[in-house]
Structure 1
């Protein structure tokens, strides 16, 4: 799939422990257009790990692999594997602020090394035909001037990177946890808008603090795409109108019940291959967010999905509990 065919209007952020293949399958039922991202996977895990870190479900397309790393050769190896497996894009993480990431010299600290990022992008582009993209912050620590950001964009785009997703907060690498880094540094949307103005030839997506499709529409007046993280996870039914409201697709909006109906056979297949119910239902607890009885739905799933022998009946019983709880 070429860059031109990837609709970047709306994407779901890579979120560790959250955007696994089960969540992505669930999300795809609600939006056919949203670009989905894997959790960040380190090059070390792919190259040396025991498990299959590249597994995804065919219906997830379009789906991008987010890589964490800073060794150009290792990133090229992983990008090539990703392309061979059928991923539609490879994304380099230059935004994660955690200590573990800094110790491995990747994530947000790489913003201070744009030449290395450019080298990484170039190495990946040499071996794949799919887009190689970058997700960054607007700055790190005291390096948070507009000039710092434009220098990063200048150097990295010169390596052939045409797509950037920018989280509109800087990252504090010292003293703040990853969770605090998502909330404490102030959002500066105007800075991302200005990047798009100054680099009209690049595809610029904005990320950070977006909680509604109405907000997404406002951003899309200034940038090419909007990436939504926590809201798409905690209130997943927001995805049900993405195609119609943001992407101009004339299609009926899927109902919550239809989402459940499509998830049940997927759950059955997962269980029959030795998987556990809660691997999937943990991603579904927010489906009825804002609906009367939703608390009963959440509680029933949370209390029963991990029990021995739990199967699809638990989901049906959770719906019944919700009906009673209204």
Structure 2
């Protein structure tokens, strides 16, 4: 099956959140959702520790590598490295508004240089056989989103992009923090729908402010894909319904308690290799969102997970508190 046969449900790339431990956890909840790495810069891939930056479990498939950069040759090199490591897709970040990203001439500031983005896509397409995609905004600063998004889309589609994921709000490069850029600029889903209407043959997915699966299903009536970020991270149990509701799989929704059991061998192997419990548990805090006893679950994992030598007994204690409160 093609990676980009609509509909596609994805968990957005999020710095400091969607690391390999997070993705492995999310995979226990859904076998079909497309997962993304944190953004990795081309310089980091050329000069850094590739095992630390790119290593992942085969269980994570399908999984995409998101790259940050603006030099076509460097992106082609990094894309090829990513393909060789086994990633199913290479994605170019044209959406992150942070000062650190802007100083490196990548992320959302590339909305101002659509021809350069197209050159980057073409170079990556020539280097790899897996899909090359772009994640962008509808515009930045004083740009007119009608013109800015069309210019970028036209350029990357002509360059052979496999899919365009659009965060449906502007990014303000000056005056707003990255956190504020996730909330303050207003969402404009209709702008993304108009883009899809102009390019019916191109996969167009949407990101930004999607609160849950009901909203995702509504957006999939007019678009090819939906990408959830904070909602999926903060309430991961919703991922347990993705295979059934989004993909129509004849499966039961993932049970959070069964997910915890499935995580045990992965966590044990990580601990045996000298890792810390919190590498996993920090991603699992929201698993029992709205379940009686969820506060105790979060507290025990938060306090116990960071202790030196913490092991699976912390998870057992958190489960015990949750079960007792649930039974009560």
Does TM, scored on the shorter chain, surpass 0.5?
A: yes
Deviations 1:3-28, CA, capped at 9 Å, x for gaps: 45x66520000000000010100101
Deviations 1:56-76, CA, capped at 9 Å, x for gaps: 110000000000000111111
Q: Which residue of 2 aligns with 1:169?
A: 169
Query: Does the Cα contact within 8 Å between 1:96 and 1:108 map onto a contact in 2?
Result: yes
Q: Which residue of 2 aligns with 1:264?
A: 264
State the shift of 1:235 in Å.
0.3
Alignment of 1:101-250 (within 5 A): 101-250=101-250
State the shift of 1:322 in Å.
2.2
3-state SS, counterpart of residue 264 of structure 1? helix
Cα distance in structure 2, aligned partners of 1:118 and 1:75: 12
Of residues 296-305 and 142-151 in structure 1, the stretch that sits farther from structure 2 once superposed is 142-151
Cα distance in structure 2, aligned partners of 1:321 and 1:83: 44
Query: Does the Cα contact within 8 Å between 1:7 and 1:33 map onto a contact in 2?
Result: no
Q: Which residue of 1 aligns with 2:27?
A: 28
Cα distance in structure 2, aligned partners of 1:293 and 1:118: 50
Alignment of 1:277-292 (within 5 A): 277-292=277-292
State the shift of 1:325 in Å.
4.2
Cα distance in structure 1, aligned partners of 2:91 and 2:7: 13
Q: Which residue of 2 aligns with 1:255?
A: 255
3-state SS, counterpart of residue 249 of structure 2? coil
Cα distance in structure 1, aligned partners of 2:6 and 2:199: 19
State the shift of 1:2 in Å.
5.2
Query: Does the Cα contact within 8 Å between 1:93 and 1:108 map onto a contact in 2?
Result: yes
Runs of 4+ in 1 over 4 A off after TM superposition: 1-4
Q: CA RMSD in A?
A: 1.2
Query: Does the Cα contact within 8 Å between 1:8 and 1:35 map onto a contact in 2?
Result: no
Cα distance in structure 2, aligned partners of 1:220 and 1:155: 25
Pick closer, same or farther for the CA change 1:259–1:7 going to 2, 3 Å.
Answer: farther
Q: Show structure 2 runs of 5+ residues with no match.
A: none
Query: Does the Cα contact within 8 Å between 1:2 and 1:130 map onto a contact in 2?
Result: no
3-state SS, counterpart of residue 314 of structure 1? helix
State the shift of 1:51 in Å.
5.2
Q: Which residue of 1 aligns with 2:73?
A: 73
Normalization by structure 1: what TM-score?
Answer: 0.97
> Given the alignment of the two structures, is residue 315 of structure 1 paired with residue 315 of structure 2, yes or no?
yes
Cα distance in structure 1, aligned partners of 2:56 and 2:129: 20
Query: Does the Cα contact within 8 Å between 1:8 and 1:34 map onto a contact in 2?
Result: no
Q: Which residue of 2 aligns with 1:38?
A: 37
Q: Which residue of 2 aligns with 1:275?
A: 275
State the shift of 1:144 in Å.
2.7
Deviations 1:203-223, CA, capped at 9 Å, x for gaps: 000000011110001100010
3-state SS, counterpart of residue 54 of structure 2? coil
Cα distance in structure 1, aligned partners of 2:320 and 2:145: 54
